[in-house]
Chains A and B, each alone.
Chain A
Amino acid sequence: MWEYTKKVRDFFLHPKNVGEIENPDAVGEVGSITCGDALKLTLKIDKETGKIADAKFQTFGCASAIASSSALTELIKGKTLEEAMKLSNKDIADFLGGLPEEKMHCSVMGREALEAAIAGYRGETHVPESGERVVCKCFDVTEEKLRRVIIENHLTTVEEVTNYTKAGGGCGACIPDIEAVLRDIWSLKPVAEMPREPKKLTNLQKIALIQDVIEKEIRPQLQADGGDIELIDIAGDKVIVALRAMCVSCPMGGVTLKGIEEKLRELVSEDLVVEEQ
């Protein structure tokens, strides 16, 4: 069975906002029973403020699908439609403390239902044209959807595309087409220049995140090799640390520090510099 975070399990076992709003202002329905997951999202929208006053869901699917749908409703309640539209599938996954890679399509489904609901509410319902190219027949995934999910999530391999959209996970006949779409997208936009969401963190958020990354990502790794690290101070973008235990005498200390810096840059902010006390 899959390894789920506590929050995924909790949102699956005790889902919030289950059901269907009577006379909803917006409805978003995605997925199908054939594909194995489907979500129906109903919204009540406050006409005055433009805020989502209530959101309910019904989901047919696995634990991640149910947890993602429930998380989605929690995340959008109280938001204006504009704010809600900014929500990405990654935000849903992050809110749950992460989903197994293979289950990312559940978060994508949440995002799509939201989009469909808001588009419908605004009268922009997208009627699929008969000419729209379905790339994956097994899971009914169009090229348009593939492109959007690939770009939004910076996907570069077929495997990732399958994890996020299911396309390619059935008979596999569409894999060459998925490869072509990937090549088309990333040869125009080289991987190195992939759009990155700039993280705007407050000082407090940054400090908390640095502490978190050191505790959860970096320390366990060092400890596994008999070493350790202590966070001494954070001054602006400068992170001052002290290496402990086996790391103190380790001739590779410099490499270790570089590695720590890379990890922090990747997970917190590009601008961080790590220095030893």
Chain B
Amino acid sequence: MNPLYLDNNATTAVAPEVRDEMLPYLTDHYGNPSSMHTFGGQLASKVREARVKTAALIGADPEEIVFTSCGTESDNTAIMSALEIYPHKRHIITTRVEHPAVYNFCKHLGRKGYRVTYLPVDSRGRLSMDAFAKALDDDPAVVSIMYANNETGVIFPIEEIGTLLRERGVLFHTDAVQAVGKLPIDTKTLPVDMLSLSGHKLHAPKGVGALYIRKGTRFHPYIVGGHQEHGRRAGTENVASIIGLGKACELAARHLDDERTSVSRLRDKLEKALLEKCPDPRINGDTEHRLPNTTNISFEYVEGEAILLRLDEYGICASSGSACTSGSLEPSHVLRAMGVPFTAVHGSIRFSLSRYTTDGEIDRVIEVLPPVIDELRSLSPYGRERLAAEKLSQCTSSPT
């Protein structure tokens, strides 16, 4: 059975065109692009081509792209570089809802003696600009704020933030791993200094990413060794995957409009149907400024893993912010930061679509999920208590 895959914010399928483009570089053309002989050396031009395509997707110049092994490496590199450049500045500003690649890295730096400001968000997952402005007074080495949230899809006002930072001359990094390929991004006009992207979120394979570094931005490498990537990231290039990333970026640029039209249409259809068919659902996050492919819904009084596992029986793959899906015991730090009540936070489910998602697949989820929720609710001690309480309040409040 082919899985019905709606967990594209976790990872995506490698596009067939990407796979085809990569294959020769996994088999016959296995040279090292740094070699002097033609066998390896000729690969340098393929890597260059991939750089051009990757840059094009975000309106950058090819020289502004450094290939990395993943989004996490790009994020860590950007923050570390800033700290190396400004050794006297011991302050970092980020948010409470970052991806662990930034969030946990900042926590780690906090333990090493840096001061980290974690900006709060409101109940819809939107950044508090007041808190941001206040934090700025403390002269940070770098501000790292995600472009769009991986769990809720909420998009941050990167342009507004960047403009403010530029006035102050503060280095600005954005983790745009979830946004690149889903939203039009143009670094020519977007006021960011560094931007991270990841291959496997846009139909390239896992194990490849890139960091955009605006021309003129002072930079210090994180991985030091050979002279690859103009000394900005050592290590023999992951040639096949870089070629794959280039192809994936080319395809993403071509499909960018679909994200806003067909992908978001399907997402909205799913969301609308679930809101109608399941009692007391709750959309987590701002629905106005949101990625076109993501919806995060809570079904109160049932637990996320239980929902996921039932869905799994039907071959449907989604994701949950509940603690029980992960090794940790605390539910999603993102939903907690938004103040989503515990009754809902444990029962949160994220569906993330891709350009390969079909109408039929969405219909299937709409058919399968509501009875699953009903069934689990009938198992839960809370649903009933709540219903009873509701009935009671109806009695007392209804006019006699």
Which A residues fall within an 8 A CB radius of B? 1-2, 9, 12-13, 15, 18, 20, 29, 33-34, 36-40, 58-66, 102, 138-139, 162, 166, 169-170
Q: Give B280-321 interface residues, CB cut-off 8 Å to A.
A: 301-306, 308-310, 312-313
Chain B residues numbered 107-147 whose CB sits less than 8 Å from any CB in chain A: none
Q: Using Cβ atoms and an 8 Å threshold, which residues of chain A touch B87?
A: none
Q: Are B328 and A169 in contact (CB under 8 A)?
A: yes
Q: Which of B325-348 contact A (CB under 8 A)?
A: 325, 327-331, 342-343, 346
Is A1 within 8 A of B329, CB to CB?
A: no
Chain A residues with CB under 8 A of B301: 33, 60
Smallest CB separation, B331 vs chain A (Å): 7
Known: A18-B378, A36-B322. A62 touches B310 (CB 8 A): no
Q: Do A34 and B303 touch (CB < 8 A)?
A: no
Bound CA–CA A109/B324 (angstroms): 15
In the complex, the answer to whether A36 meets B382 with C-beta atoms within 8 Å is: no
**Which residue in A34, A40, A62 is a CB contact (below 8 Å) of B324?**
A62
17 pairs, A vs B, C-beta closer than 8 Å: A13-B313, A29-B381, A36-B331, A59-B379, A59-B380, A59-B381, A60-B301, A60-B379, A62-B303, A63-B305, A65-B303, A66-B379, A102-B327, A138-B330, A139-B329, A170-B329, A170-B330
CB of B400, distance to nearest CB on chain A (Å): 30
- In the bound complex, do residue B381 and residue A39 qualify as a contact, i.e. CB atoms below 8 Å apart? yes
B346 touches A1 (CB 8 A): no
Whole-angstrom distance between the Cβ of B102 and the nearest chain A Cβ: 20
Query: How many inter-chain residue pairs (CB < 8 Å) link A and B?
Result: 81
A36 touches B324 (CB 8 A): yes
- When distances are taken between beta carbons in the complex, the residues of chain A under 8 Å from B330 are 138, 169-170
Closest to B323 in A: A36
Decide yes or no: A36 and B329 within 8 Å by CB, A1-B309, A1-B312 being known contacts: yes
Determine whether the beta carbon of B309 is less than 8 Å from that of A37.
no
A residues within 8 A CB of B378?
A: 18
Q: Measured between C-beta atoms, what is the minimum distance from B379 to chain A in Å?
A: 6
Question: Which residues from B are CB-within-8-Å of A38?
Answer: 381-382
**Do B308 and A60 touch across chains, with their CB atoms under 8 A apart?**
no
Q: State whether B302 touches A63 (Cβ < 8 A).
A: no
Residue on B nearest A20 in the bound complex, by CB: B384
- B-chain residues with CB within 8 Å of residue A63 when the two chains form the complex: 305-306, 309, 324
Given the interface pairs A33-B342, A37-B303, A38-B382, the reply to whether A61 lies near B310 with Cβ below 8 Å is no
Task: Out of B305, B312, B313, name the residue touching A62 (CB < 8 Å).
Answer: B305
B301, closest chain A residue (CB) = A60
Nearest residue (CB) in B for A166 is B329
**Is the CB–CB distance between A18 and B379 below 8 Å?**
yes
Between B310, B329, B384, the greatest number of chain A beta carbons within 10 A of the residue's beta carbon is seen for B329
Contacts of A64 in B (CB 8 A): 324
**Distance of A162 Cα from B328 Cα, bound (Å):** 10
Partner of B382, one of A15, A33, A102, A162: A33
- A36-B322, A60-B346, A170-B329 given; 5 more Cβ-contact pairs under 8 Å: A9-B309, A33-B342, A37-B324, A60-B301, A61-B306
Chain A's closest residue to B327 (CB) is A102
Among A33, A38, A39, max chain B CB count under 10 A is at A33
Q: Determine the distance from Cα of A60 to Cα of B325 in the docked complex, in whole angstroms.
A: 15
Residue of A nearest to B344 (CB): A33
Docked complex Cα distance between A63 and B304 (Å): 10
Q: How far is the CB of B342 from chain A (nearest CB, A)?
A: 5
Q: Cβ of A36 and Cβ of B303 under 8 Å apart?
A: yes
Known contacts A34-B342, A61-B324; is-contact A13 B310 (Cβ 8 Å): yes
Contact A15 B306 (CB under 8 A): no
Bound CA span A63–B312, Å: 12
B309 contacts which chain A residues (CB < 8 A)? 1, 9, 12, 62-63
The complex places the Cα of A20 from the Cα of B378 at a distance, in Å, of 11
Distance A39 CA – B379 CA, assembled complex (angstroms)? 10
Across the interface, do B346 and A33 meet the contact criterion of CB distance under 8 Å? yes
CB distance from A11 to the nearest CB of B (A): 12
Checking B303, B329, B342 against A61 with a beta-carbon cut-off of 8 angstroms, the contacting residue is B303
Alpha-carbon distance between A38 and B324 when the two chains are bound, in angstroms: 13
Q: For the complex, what is the distance from the CA of A58 to the CA of B378, rounded to whole Å?
A: 8
| Nearest-Cβ distance from residue B201 to partner chain A, whole angstroms | 20
Contacts of A61 in B (CB 8 A): 303, 306, 324
What separation, in Å, do the CA atoms of A29 and B382 have in the docked complex?
A: 12
Alpha-carbon distance A166/B328, docked complex (angstroms): 10
Task: Return chain B residues, CB-CB under 8 Å to A60.
Answer: 301-303, 346, 379-382
Partner of B306, one of A29, A39, A66, A139: A66
Task: Determine the chain A residues whose CB is within 8 A of the CB of B303 once the complex forms.
Answer: 36-37, 60-62, 65
In Å, the complex CA distance between A166 and B330 comes to 10
Q: For the complex, give the distance between the alpha carbons of A64 and B322 in Å.
A: 14
A165 to chain B, nearest CB (A): 10
Residue of B nearest to A102 (CB): B327
User: Across the interface, which residues of A come within 8 angstroms of B324, CB to CB?
Assistant: 36-37, 61-65
* Mask of B172-197 contacts with A, CB within 8 angstroms, 1/0: 00000000000000000000000000
